[in-house]
Structure 1
Amino acid sequence: MTTLSLTDLDETDRAILRALAADATLSAGALGRRLGLSQPAAWRRIKRLQEAGVIKGRRLVLDHERLGFGVTVFLGVKLATKGRVSLEDFERAVTAIPEVQTVEHILGLYDYRLRVVARDISDFERVLRRRIMTLPGVGDVEANVLLSEERRPGPL
């Protein structure tokens, strides 16, 4: 795998990344037309960015609320017994819970930050009590309910 840094990217590479960040479904042909490149040239650049690991993948972003998951909660989780339970055991167990959308190992007051979706507050309480609080090593937990979310483009 080739390694690229931000300084290795030219303005065309950055324009490709901005366009794909806004709409990951764009084809190489559509990107080329938008940026004044041929389809093969756009495809080669995308492939180079993928091979270098700059583009890790493309995601489908779902509207959780329209799918019936009206509540999003961020949980700070502090492990009670770091010595007895390995981080891998906790991570393996928590990622098996379908309502847990992301698991982030963080530095600070808590060991992990989880993004959890639920149908409503009572459904979240069920997930918290029956699934999350029973995980190996869970100690303190702090919940923050998401009120609104705006996506902001990244630094490119």
Structure 2
Amino acid sequence: MQIDDTDRRILRHLLADPDLSNADLAARAGVTTATCWRRLDRLRAGGVIRATVAEIDWRRLGYAVEVSLRFNLDKTNPRAFDEFLDAARQVPEVTGIETFLGRVDLRLTVIARDMAHYQEIYRRRILTLPHIADIEALMLVATIKDEGALPV
């Protein structure tokens, strides 16, 4: 899908403040409300804007620990990936699942209230996931940049 400078302006302002009303977004982008609405509709239909979501700060809800777990699976079983992913999706504290090409097969992001809670999740839910050949844990210390946006 092709986008022009007007679309880019709308997207920049939408990314900067997703809670803007259509009228405010249109004013900031320098277009009419009708034009803004039509362009947003076209960007959604074209798959450029996939969703408008709520971003939850897990720490404010009492989840102070975030761990990234990198897995290599025992790939001698042809269903290893599917079975691992099916089981990992059932762990409520897993907030992200990503697959990779290279030395690491998968990464899970796990949140916990504290280290004791994390240890419980790790022992009871993570280590019981099928087909694990190797695990590496990376404890999140700080998030320096977390943007899901491209410079438009």
- Corresponding residue for residue 13 of structure 1: 7
2:128 pairs with 1:155: no
CA contact (8 A) 1:78 1:140 kept: yes
Structure 2 distance, partners of 1:133, 1:84, is 20
Q: What is the match of residue 49 of structure 1?
A: 43
- State the 1:82 CA deviation: 4.6
Give RMSD over aligned pairs.
Answer: 1.5
Instruction: Write the letter of the residue equivalent to 1:13.
Output: D
Runs of at least 4 residues of structure 1 off by over 6 A? none
Once the 2 structures are TM-superposed, how far is the Cα of residue 50 of structure 1 from its aligned partner? 0.5
TM superposition score normalised by structure 1? 0.88
Amino acid of the residue matched to residue 44 of structure 1?
Answer: R
Q: Which residue of 2 aligns with 1:134?
A: 128
Normalised to the residue count of structure 2, the TM-score between the two structures is 0.90
In the alignment, which residue of structure 2 is the partner of 1:83? Answer: 77
In structure 1, the residue matched to 2:34 is 40
Shift of residue 85, structure 1, vs aligned partner: 3.2
The 2-side partners of 1:105 and 1:45 are apart by: 33
Structure 2 counterparts to residues 54-65 of structure 1, below 5 A: 54-65=48-59
Structure 1: segments with no counterpart, 5+ residues: none
Percent identical among aligned pairs is 39
1:119 aligns with 2:77: no
Asked if the contact 2:98/2:108 (under 8 Å) is kept, the reply is yes
